[in-house]
C-alpha cells in the first residue's frame, strides 16, 4: 500500500473510527500510525537511519523525514543519524550541538509483510492507550463497590465485565464455595487498581472486611451521611463477622440504625454475603469496655490489659468459656481482629489457681530471703509487695501501715532486704568479671551488676559490644509474622528496661566511643520533643 492522495483521508477516518470504538483520544491512534509507518520506512531505507513520519491532522498527508542530529566529533557512533559540527555546516548556517538536519524522503510502498507489521504496531499502541484509559478511570474508585457481569471463569478466577474493561475476582477472594456462570450479575469491592503489562488491572474482592463496611454504607443512610461511623470490621468470610459502630448523635442508636426496621438493613447485607452472620457492636473508646462488647454473646468477669505487650487477658465464668472462644476459636479470633489485641481467655477457676500460685511463690521468696515466718511474708504479699527492691527502698511509712508492723520491725526488714540485694549484686559483679566483662562496661552508668552478668552470658562484654546492640535486643519487643504476633526476648527485659531507656543507653555508649556526634543526639531529642508537643 502506498500513501497516496486517494487514501490520505481514509487514514484519518480509520483513526476516528478506532478511537471512537475504543473510547480513546484519536491523536493517540494517529501517533501509533506514525510510529508504524516510521518502522516500515526504516526497513526500506535502513535500520540505522532515524526516520520520522508526520501525518497532517487535517488533510491526512503523511510526510517522511530523515533526521540527523549534530553531536561532538568524538561522540559520532552512527553516521546515518549523526553529524559533526563541521559536516553540518553544509546544511545549516550556524550549527550547534543538538541541532537537527531534516531531509524529506519519498514515501514508501508498504508490502504485505510491512503492512502487517504496521497493523501490529497500531494495535499494540491502541491496546496500551486503552489500558491507560482504564487505569485512569478506575484508580480513584479503589475502595468502592462496583456492579459487573460475569464473562468467564479461568482456573477458579472469575473475569468480570465492568463496562469499560475487565476485572478479576481471584479464587481466594470469593466467599466460600461461590460459583458463577457467564452472564450472572455480581457485586464486588474494588480492592486494588494497578498497572499491569497484560491481563486485568482491576482486582476485585468479596471477602475483604471493607466490602461489608461499604455494603452497610449503602444500606444505612446515617453511615453515608457521617452521623454513624464504622470504626472496625472483622470477618470470617461466609461464616461470621463483627462490625463496631459509633454514633455522633446522642438521639440515634448506632446498633439499631444498622439493624433497621425488623432487621431489614442488616438482612440486605447478610443476603449479599451469602448468609454470613453479623454481630453489630457499639464501639467504645475504653479498650476494656470495647472488648467486653466485642466478645458478645459471652459474658466477661474481668479484663487485664498489658499495653506494652499489646496483649489482653479476659476472665470469663467457667460455663461461658466455650461461648467466648466460639466454634474453632471464631468468636475470640474476630474479637482480636476487631480490637487489634492478642486475647488470652481463661476461666475464673484458672485465674484463681494462678493467683494462688503467685501468692505462694512470693510468700516463699520473702520467707527465704528475709528470714521471716509465713504469716509476715503473707502480710507483705497481701499488701502488694512483689519483690525485694520494693521492700528495701519503699518509704518506711508504707511498711508501718501494715497491721502489726512497728518501726523496729520495718527497719529490720529493710536492712535484711538491702543486705541480701547487696550480696547478690556483689556475686553478680564477680561473675560478670570472671566472664571477661571489661571495666569500661562495668563503669557505664545505668547498668547494674545483675545486668552486667546477663549481658556477659549473651556475649556482650565491652562498651563496643554494647554500642552495637539494637534497643529491642536489650528491651525486647513484638514482631508480626504471618499475621501472628511473636515475642522477641530482650537481654535486659527481665530488669524492666523500656525501649526508650535501652535506646538512650545505646546512644550514650556510641557518643562515648565517638561513633555519634552529641549534637546529632540533641537534635534528635529536640525533634522528638517537638513531635510530642504537636501531638
120 in the same domain as 144: no
Residue 269 lies in a domain: no
DSSP 506-527: HHHHHHHTTSS-HHHHHHHHHH
**What gap in Å lies between CA 89 and CA 70, rounded to an integer?**
10
464 in the same domain as 370: no
Domain boundary among 130, 156, 175: 130
453 in the same domain as 423: no
Residue 450 lies in a domain: yes
The DSSP letter of residue 317 is: -
Residue 118 lies in a domain: yes
255 neighbors 282 (Cβ within 8 angstroms): yes
144 in the same domain as 89: no
For the chain, give the number of residues. 535
Tally of domains within the chain: 4
- Residue 311 CB: number of other CB atoms within 10 A? 16
Given this model, what pLDDT does residue 112 score?
A: 58
- Residue 343 CB: number of other CB atoms within 10 A? 19
According to the 3-state scheme, what is the secondary structure of 401-459?
CCCCCCHHHHHHHHHHHHHHHHHHHHHHHHHHHHCCCCHHHHCCCCCCHHHHHHHHHCC
**What gap in Å lies between CA 78 and CA 73, rounded to an integer?**
12
CATH number of the structural domain spanning residue 90 = 3.30.1480.10
CATH number of the structural domain spanning residue 147 = 2.40.50.140
145 φ/ψ angles, rounded to the nearest 5 degrees: -100, 140
368 in the same domain as 442: no
Cell of 239: 461464616
123 in the same domain as 6: yes
88 in the same domain as 181: no
State the residue for C-alpha cell 545505668.
446
15 in the same domain as 100: yes
**What gap in Å lies between CA 367 and CA 470, rounded to an integer?**
39
**What gap in Å lies between CA 463 and CA 219, rounded to an integer?**
63
**What gap in Å lies between CA 270 and CA 215, rounded to an integer?**
10
121 neighbors 107 (Cβ within 8 angstroms): no
Domain that holds residue 182: 140-207
**What gap in Å lies between CA 68 and CA 83, rounded to an integer?**
6
**What gap in Å lies between CA 361 and CA 208, rounded to an integer?**
48
Which of these, 60, 47, 44, lies nearest to 105 by C-alpha position? 44
Residue 303 lies in a domain: no
Given this model, what pLDDT does residue 518 score?
A: 76
Residue 334 lies in a domain: no
State the residue for C-alpha cell 453489630.
280
15 in the same domain as 106: yes
Residue 268 lies in a domain: no
CATH number of the structural domain spanning residue 407 = 1.10.150.20
Mean pLDDT by 10 residues, the chain (535 residues): 48 67 69 76 76 77 80 75 77 79 73 59 70 76 88 87 83 84 89 76 88 91 90 89 90 90 90 88 86 84 72 83 84 84 83 86 85 84 81 80 79 86 88 90 88 90 90 79 71 84 88 80 53 51
The pTM of the full predicted model, rounded to 2 decimals, is 0.58
Collapse the DSSP code of 202 into the 3-class scheme (helix H, G, I; strand E, B; otherwise coil) and give the result. Answer: strand
State the residue for C-alpha cell 498527508.
61
Residue 533, Cα to own-chain centre: how many angstroms? 27
The DSSP letter of residue 208 is: S
- Residue 147 CB: number of other CB atoms within 10 A? 11
Residue 94 lies in a domain: yes
359: which residues sit within 8 A by CB, 6+ positions away? 378, 381
**What gap in Å lies between CA 278 and CA 50, rounded to an integer?**
66
491 neighbors 460 (Cβ within 8 angstroms): yes
Residue 44 lies in a domain: yes
Query: Strands, E, within 86-239: which ranges?
Result: 100-105, 145-154, 157-161, 166-169, 185-193, 202-205, 228-236
Domain boundary among 395, 428, 461: 428
343: which residues sit within 8 A by CB, 6+ positions away? 291, 311, 312, 313, 314, 332, 335, 336
**What gap in Å lies between CA 32 and CA 132, rounded to an integer?**
15
121 in the same domain as 21: yes
Cα atoms found within 13 Å of the Cα of residue 7, Cβ hemisphere only: 8
Cell of 180: 458463577
444 in the same domain as 468: yes
476 in the same domain as 357: no
Amino acid at each position: 500500500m502506498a500513501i497516496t492522495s486517494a487514501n490520505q483521508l481514509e487514514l484519518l477516518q480509520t483513526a476516528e473510527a478506532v478511537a471512537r470504538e475504543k473510547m480513546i483520544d484519536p491523536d493517540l491512534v494517529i501517533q501509533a500510525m506514525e510510529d508504524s509507518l516510521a518502522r516500515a520506512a526504516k526497513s526500506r531505507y535502513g535500520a540505522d537511519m532515524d526516520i520520522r513520519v508526520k501525518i497532517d491532522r487535517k488533510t491526512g498527508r503523511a510526510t517522511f523525514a530523515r533526521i540527523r542530529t549534530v553531536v561532538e566529533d568524538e561522540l559520532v557512533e552512527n553516521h546515518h543519524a549523526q553529524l559533526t559540527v563541521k559536516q553540518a555546516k553544509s546544511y545549516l548556517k550556524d550549527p550547534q550541538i543538538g541541532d537537527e538536519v531534516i531531509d524529506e524522503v519519498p514515501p514508501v510502498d508498504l508490502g504485505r509483510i510491512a503492512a502487517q507489521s504496521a497493523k501490529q504496531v497500531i494495535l499494540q499502541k491502541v491496546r496500551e492507550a486503552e489500558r491507560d484509559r482504564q487505569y485512569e478511570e478506575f484508580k480513584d474508585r479503589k475502595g468502592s463497590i462496583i456492579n459487573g457481569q460475569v464473562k468467564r471463569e479461568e482456573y477458579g478466577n472469575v473475569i468480570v465485565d465492568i463496562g469499560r474493561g475487565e476485572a478479576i475476582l481471584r479464587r481466594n477472594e470469593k466467599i466460600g464455595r461461590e460459583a458463577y456462570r457467564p452472564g450472572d450479575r455480581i457485586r464486588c469491592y474494588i480492592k486494588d487498581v494497578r498497572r499491569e503489562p497484560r491481563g486485568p488491572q482491576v482486582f476485585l474482592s468479596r471477602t475483604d472486611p471493607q466490602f461489608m463496611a461499604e455494603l452497610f454504607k449503602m444500606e444505612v443512610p446515617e453511615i453515608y451521611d457521617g452521623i454513624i461511623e464504622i470504626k472496625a470490621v472483622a470477618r470470617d468470610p461466609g461464616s461470621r463477622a463483627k462490625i463496631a459502630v459509633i454514633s455522633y448523635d446522642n438521639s440515634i442508636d448506632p446498633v439499631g440504625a444498622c439493624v433497621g426496621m425488623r432487621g431489614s438493613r442488616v438482612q440486605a447485607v447478610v443476603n449479599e454475603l451469602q448468609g454470613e452472620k453479623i454481630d453489630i457492636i457499639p464501639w467504645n473508646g475504653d479498650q476494656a469496655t470495647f472488648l467486653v462488647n466485642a466478645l458478645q454473646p459471652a459474658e466477661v468477669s474481668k479484663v487485664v490489659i498489658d499495653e506494652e505487650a499489646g496483649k489482653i487477658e479476659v476472665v470469663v465464668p467457667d460455663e461461658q468459656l466455650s461461648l467466648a472462644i466460639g466454634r474453632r476459636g471464631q468468636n475470640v479470633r474476630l474479637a482480636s481482629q476487631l480490637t487489634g489485641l492478642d486475647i488470652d481467655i481463661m476461666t475464673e477457676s484458672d485465674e484463681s489457681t494462678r493467683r494462688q500460685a503467685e501468692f505462694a511463690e512470693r510468700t516463699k521468696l520473702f520467707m527465704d530471703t528475709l528470714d521471716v515466718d509465713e504469716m509476715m511474708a503473707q502480710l507483705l504479699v497481701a499488701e502488694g509487695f512483689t519483690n525485694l527492691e520494693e521492700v528495701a527502698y519503699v518509704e518506711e511509712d508504707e511498711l508501718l501501715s501494715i497491721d502489726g508492723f512497728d518501726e523496729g520491725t520495718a527497719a529490720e526488714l529493710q536492712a535484711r532486704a538491702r543486705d541480701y540485694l547487696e550480696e547478690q549484686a556483689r556475686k553478680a559483679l564477680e561473675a560478670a568479671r570472671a566472664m571477661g566483662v571489661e571495666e569500661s562496661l562495668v563503669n557505664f552508668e545505668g547498668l547494674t551488676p545483675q545486668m552486667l552478668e546477663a549481658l556477659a552470658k549473651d556475649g556482650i562484654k565491652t562498651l563496643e559490644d554494647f554500642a552495637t546492640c539494637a534497643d529491642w535486643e536489650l528491651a525486647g519487643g513484638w514482631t508480626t509474622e504471618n499475621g501472628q504476633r511473636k515475642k522477641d526476648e530482650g537481654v535486659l527485659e527481665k530488669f524492666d528496661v523500656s525501649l526508650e531507656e535501652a535506646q538512650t543507653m545505646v546512644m550514650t555508649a556510641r557518643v562515648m566511643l565517638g561513633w555519634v556526634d552529641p549534637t546529632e543526639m540533641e537534635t534528635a531529642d529536640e525533634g522528638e520533643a517537638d513531635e510530642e508537643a504537636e501531638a
